[in-house]
Amino acid sequence: MKELFGRLADGTEIHRWSLENGGTRMKVLSYGGIVQCLETPDRHGRYANISLGFDRIEDYVTSSPYFGALIGRYGNRIGKGRFTLDGETHRLSADDGENSLHGGEAGFDKVVWEVEPFQRGTDVGLRLSHTSPDGEMGYPGTLTAQVTYTLTAEGDWRIDYAATTDKVTVVNLTNHVYWNLAGEGSGTIEHHELTIAAARFTPTDPGLIPTGELAPVTGTPFDFRAPKPIGRDLRTGHPQLLAAQGYDHNWVLEKGITAEPEAVATLRDPASGRTLRVATTEPGMQFYSGNFLDGTLVGPAGRAYRQGDALCLETQHYPDSPNHAHFPSTVLRPGETYRSTTVHSFPA
């Protein structure tokens, strides 16, 4: 179902599509490809929206910390807003101090995507398309991107990313849903139990840019190889947690880059019984514990979002990869196609 959600200041209409399949319900905006609502049942069959967001387009335009949005051209941070590619230095839009975050001041989260609904067998979904012109936010090449959201008969939400370019460039696409499996506006996620299939993570400097080290998680608060409540080690005083005001780091997934999505993370809320499982083709995942939610934003339930009221699990290549030759490459050249897939499952 398609409906008018609102209008931008210039009069551009923003539409919302509603999808339902396999027990999962989702609402998606043409603005930013935003997942405005995602509902799943708890152990008693009661539905709740488990993603943070807003009821008005104005709030997404002026106040959103990337709630539910598609992120590009480059998910996460690029240090000092620049990188060198084939001997040429490119200077990017710096929107996070001196660094570039999530594609710059006007990334893919702030564009109006072309949206086409589809049904394929028992699957339903949306194809979202956008062309980013050469030089936009400082990135070289005209990048043509297509992102497909699919709800399967099993209730899985699958995201397939694809992109091509006419000049050598870098690309790293992801999605920025803020999860709270107890329901948006229900309070802290510190009791959620998280598992991440990673023995290493990428420590950061004070600006949250990777130092280049691939550090072992053993003996640190970053060890989630066995299920652990998110709040267990949150206040240990570890220097990396102090610098980021919580978890805001990239985990080096043990599986590396794969042709097909492989399981990398499980999130469970013991109170509601809801579970989220994440599988991806990507080599990294950013776990962000909602550190900068400050109580000034109010969701659809009428409750303020405070620090730690949600978390993000952003599948990705590593932050600042263009400036670290030993990180998996994010370079895309003409004639190549960037592809990435992530699947979110909600087992009963």
Active site residues: 176, 314
| CA–CA distance, 57 with 1 (Å, rounded to integer) | 18
Q: Go through 240-257 and write b for each residue having 16 or more CB atoms within 10 A of its CB, e for each that does not.
A: bbebbebbbbbbbbebee
| CA–CA distance, 2 with 19 (Å, rounded to integer) | 9
Q: Go through 120-156 and write b for each residue having 16 or more CB atoms within 10 A of its CB, e for each that does not.
A: eeebbbbbbebebeeebbbbbbbbebbbbbbbbeebb
3-state secondary structure of 332: strand
State which amino acid sits at residue 56. Answer: R
Question: How do beta strands 248-253 and 198-202 pair?
Answer: antiparallel
Work out the widest C-alpha separation in the chain, in whole angstroms. Answer: 59
Contact 340, 282 (CB under 8 A): yes
* Unique residue bearing structure tokens 């598609």: 70
